[in-house]
Structure 1
Amino acid sequence: MSFKKLIEPLKDVLDNKGFYEPLPFQKLILSKIKGGASLFCIAPKDSGKTTSLILSVVQKLNGLAFEDAPRALIFVKDKETALNLKSEFESYTRRTDLRIYCAYEEHNIELQREELYLGADIVIATPKRLNKIFYLNGINLNKLQICVVDDAEFLFKNNNFAEVTRTPESIGKCQYLIFSSKFDNRFERWRESFMYNAQVVKSK
C-alpha cells in the first residue's frame, strides 16, 4: 500500500517528515492491516514497525474522536515505553482530534479511572494496570476496534502474556496486531483462540 491511500492528516505529516514511500516491510503489512486482517508482524529493529503501528491505528479511527470509550488499545512493557509511544503518536495526530491516554503502574489508579471517564480514543497501557482498571469498571472495552502489542518480546516476563490474554476474553470481535522481532512459539496459543485466522508476516 502506498502512503497516498492514507487519510490527509497522515499524508501531510509523512510529507513533512520526508517519508514518501513505505519501507519494504511496511509495504508487506499496511494494506493487510487496512483490510482488517489480524497479523503477527515480525521484523527487526528499524524496519518501520512503530510507524506502521501508528499509521494503522490513526487510519483505522479515521483521525476522528468519537464518544468516550477507547477504540484502540496498545499494550507496552512499561511507563517509559508508553510515554515515548504517546509522544510519537502525537507527532502524527496533531491535525486530528484523537485523544491519547497512557495507563501505567506509577500513576494513581483512581485518578486514572477519572481521567479515562472523560474520554479517550487510543489507550496505551501496561498489561497489569489495564487489567486492574478494567476489573474496577474503570474502562469500557466494548467499543474496541483494534488491539495491539508493541515490541511483544516483553510479554514473556512478569506474567505479561497471561495478563494480555485476559483482554480478548472480555471483548467482542476485534482486529489484533502483534509487533515483534521474532515469532515465539507461545503465540500459537493465541492463533488457536482469539487470533485463529491471523497471518504471520515476516520481514524479507
Structure 2
Amino acid sequence: MPGKSPKGRSAGSTPPGTSFADLGLPVVLVHSLKNAGVSEPFPIQIAAVPDALAGRDVLGRAPTGSGKTLAFGLPLLVRLAGRRSEPAAPRGLVLVPTRELALQIHEVLDQHGATFGLRTLGVVGGVPLERNVREIQRGVDIVVATPGRLNDLLERRSISLDRIEMTVIDEADRMVDMGFLPQIESLLAATPPDGQRLLFSATLDQDTDRLVQRFMDDPAEHSTADSVSVPDIAHYVFEVDPARKTAIAAALANRDGRTLLFVRTTHAVDRLTDECRRLGVPVSSLHGNKTQAHRTRSLAAFADGSSPALIATDVAARGVHVDDVTLVVHVDPPVDSKDYVHRAGRTARAGASGTVVTLATGDQMARVRAMAEEAKISPVIVDTEADPTSWHRTTGARTPIGRPLPGPADASSSAHGERPDRKARRGAVPSRHERAGRTGGGRGGHRGRRG
C-alpha cells in the first residue's frame, strides 16, 4: 500500500460540547461509556473517532493521558460488532510496547466489547504460551499484544493475521525506541494490505514516520499539544547533594497523593524500595526482573491507592497509565527529552493538574538544563541544600518517621521469597470469560528490551 503525506486537523480545533453520540457511536455503546463514568469525549477522541468510523487510516499524535485508548478502541469495537471471529483468526489487533499497557487496554476493550459480545485476549509475556494458544483456538475477536509474544505465536502457526480488519499501533515511538521496529513491520506485513490502520505516537521521528509511509494510506492526522509544557503541569529541578538523594526521594514518596518515581536500573529500584520500606514508607516497585504476578499486583496496588507510591524503571513504567498521579519524580534524570515527555505524561492525565520533579546532582545540572530546553519547558530550579524547606511545601514531601514496615522489604516481590498467589500465576491479562472462572497461568516473555 503506497503511503502518502498525512493530512488532517488538530484535535484541538473541534468545537467544544460534542458528545459521544455526536461522534456517530451506537446508543448502546454510549450507554456503556456512561455506566463506566465516561460522559464526555476528550479532544483526541472528538477528532479521531469520526474518521476512524468512516474507515480512514488515522495518525494520532497525542501524549500519554490524552484519551488515546478510547480514540482507537471505540471505532474498533463498532467495526467488529455483529459478527464473530473464526478460531485462531482475530479481526482486530492492538500492538503495544509493554505488558502493563496491554492489560489496561484489554480491560477497557473487554468491558465495552461485552456490549457487542466481542471477546478480547491479551497476548503478552508473563502468560504461558500454551494458554494463549488455547484461548486463540477458541476464537477471539480482538488481540492486544506485545510484538515479541505475537511473533512467537505466528512462528508456531498458532494464530493467523489474514482476517485482521483493523490494526492499532499504540505508543509507536516507544516501541521503536525499544527495538521493536523490525517486528512491527513484519507483523503489519502479515495483515491484509487493505486493512484499516491507526497509529498513535507522542512524537513522530524518522523511524516512526517510516511506518506511516509504508503501511498507511493517506491517513487523517490529529494532533494534541506537542509538548508537556502546559499550565496544568508544574516543572521543577531539585539540585541535590548525592549523599542526600535517597533521603529526598523517600520524603517525596512519603507524601500524600499518588506518586510515581523513575530510576534508571532494576537494582536501583530494589535499593530505593528497600530503603523506603526501612524508613516506613509504603511503596511498591515495578521492573522487568519481577515476576508477572508481582508486576500485576504492584500496578493494581498503585491504581487502587493501597500503595500510593510506585518506584519503577522507564521500560516497565511505559505501561503505567493511571489517573490521579499528582507527582512524577525523576530520581535519575531521563536520558533525553523524549523520555522526559513520556515520564511527565504520567501526571496531569484526564484534565487534572500535576507536578514533575527532577533530582539532579551538581554535575548533572548542565545536561538537565539542556534537556529541559529541548523539551520546551522552563523548570523552577531549587537548591535543596541552600533552601531546605521550600521543596517540602512545593511537593508535600514528608520526612519518614524511620519505623521499618513489617514483613519483607518489598512485600510483593518474589525476590524476597514470596509465593505468587494462584490467581496471579494464572496470567496477567484475564479475559471477561476468564474472570468468570477459567484457569491457566505460568510465565513467559517477549523479545526486545525488557523492563
TM-score, normalized by length of structure 1? Answer: 0.90
| Partner secondary structure for residue 142 of structure 1 | coil
Q: Residue in 2 aligned with 1:129?
A: 149
1:83 pairs with 2:103 = yes
Displacement of 1:43 in angstroms is 1.5
What are structure 2's unaligned runs of at least 5 residues?
Answer: 1-17, 226-451
- Counterpart mapping for 1:1-204 below 5 A: 2-4=19-21, 5-62=24-81, 64-68=83-87, 69-172=89-192, 173-203=194-224
The structure showing larger relative contact order (alpha-carbon pairs under 8 Å, at least 6 residues apart) is 1
Q: Taking every aligned residue pair, what percent have the same amino acid on both sides?
A: 28
| CA deviations over 1:77-129 (Å, ceiling 9, x no partner) | 12222112111222322323111111112222233222211110000110011
Judge conservation of contact 2:81–2:118 (CA < 8 Å) in 1: no
Judge conservation of contact 2:169–2:199 (CA < 8 Å) in 1: yes
Judge conservation of contact 2:168–2:198 (CA < 8 Å) in 1: yes
Judge conservation of contact 1:63–1:93 (CA < 8 Å) in 2: no
C-alpha distance in structure 1 between counterparts of 2:43 and 2:177, whole Å? 31
Displacement of 1:152 in angstroms is 2.2
C-alpha distance in structure 1 between counterparts of 2:39 and 2:168, whole Å? 25
Q: Give the helix-richer structure, 1 or 2.
A: 1
RMSD across aligned positions (CA): 2.0
Displacement of 1:34 in angstroms is 0.7
Alignment CA distance shift 1:63-1:180 (3 Å): farther
Judge conservation of contact 2:124–2:145 (CA < 8 Å) in 1: yes
Displacement of 1:10 in angstroms is 1.0
| Partner secondary structure for residue 95 of structure 1 | helix
| Partner secondary structure for residue 134 of structure 2 | helix
| Partner secondary structure for residue 101 of structure 2 | helix
Q: Letter of the aligned partner of 1:199 in structure 2?
A: A
Which has the greater radius of gyration?
A: 2
Q: Letter of the aligned partner of 1:176 in structure 2?
A: R
Judge conservation of contact 1:190–1:196 (CA < 8 Å) in 2: no
Displacement of 1:193 in angstroms is 1.8
| CA deviations over 1:121-140 (Å, ceiling 9, x no partner) | 00011001101101211101
| Partner secondary structure for residue 168 of structure 2 | strand
TM-score, normalized by length of structure 2? Answer: 0.43
Q: Letter of the aligned partner of 2:107 in structure 1?
A: S
C-alpha distance in structure 2 between counterparts of 1:95 and 1:26, whole Å? 20
Q: Letter of the aligned partner of 2:93 in structure 1?
A: L
Q: Letter of the aligned partner of 1:136 in structure 2?
A: R
Displacement of 1:31 in angstroms is 0.7
